[in-house]
């Protein structure tokens, strides 16, 4: 009888400790990588659609992925979002998502301008969770 009582107490204590051990695990930090960007710095002038390939992320409660660019000309900079992708619960890691902007741009090499692509992941409230940027290139958008 004593053995059963001690065995029952030990099982109850183990069951009480189990949720505490699971809750003590630290959350994984947000992560995103982009394998390849469009910017054709070697082949200018060019007409190109700004894109990012093989985008992978591990972000809790992510809602959208944005693709865009930061364009600076004569010291004035503007961030432009060209496309968004809504994340669903079916998006499992690794995603290897390819995203492209909506427009084609005429790109020319020029030291007076810079162009840098970005991919942002935002949560449901619209807050930026994680971001990735390409290298900044001396490229102008020719109208």
DSSP code string of 67-105: EEEEEEETTEEEEEEEEEEE--TT-PSS--EEEEEEEEE
Asked if residue 1 is part of any domain, the answer here is no
Does some domain include residue 13? no
Asked if residue 25 belongs to a domain, the reply is no
Q: Is residue 20 part of a domain?
A: no
Residue 62: is its pLDDT beyond 80? no
Query: pLDDT at position 92, please?
Result: 75
Is residue 63 domain-resident? yes
pLDDT single digits (tens) 82-139: 999 998 878 777 788 888 888 998 989 888 899 999 999 999 899 999 999 999 989 8
pLDDT mean over 68-85? 93
Q: What range defines the domain where residue 94 resides? A: 31-141
What's the predicted TM-score (pTM) here?
0.76
In eight-state DSSP terms, residue 6 is H
Q: Residue 57 sits in a domain of what CATH number?
A: 2.60.40
């Amino acid at each position: 009888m004593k053995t059963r009582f001690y065995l029952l107490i030990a099982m109850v204590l183990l069951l009480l400790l189990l949720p505490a051990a699971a809750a003590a695990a630290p959350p994984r930090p947000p992560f995103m990588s982009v394998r390849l960007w469009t910017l054709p710095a070697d082949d200018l002038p060019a007409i190109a659609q700004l894109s990012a390939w093989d985008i992978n992320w591990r972000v809790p409660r992510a809602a959208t992925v944005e693709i865009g660019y930061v364009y600076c000309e004569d010291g004035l900079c503007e961030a432009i979002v060209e496309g968004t992708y809504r994340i669903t619960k079916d998006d499992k890691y690794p995603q290897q998502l390819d995203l492209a902007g909506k427009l084609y741009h005429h790109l020319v090499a020029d030291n007076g301008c810079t162009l840098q692509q970005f991919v942002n992941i935002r949560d449901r409230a619209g807050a930026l969770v994680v971001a990735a940027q390409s290298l900044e290139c001396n490229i102008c958008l020719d109208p």
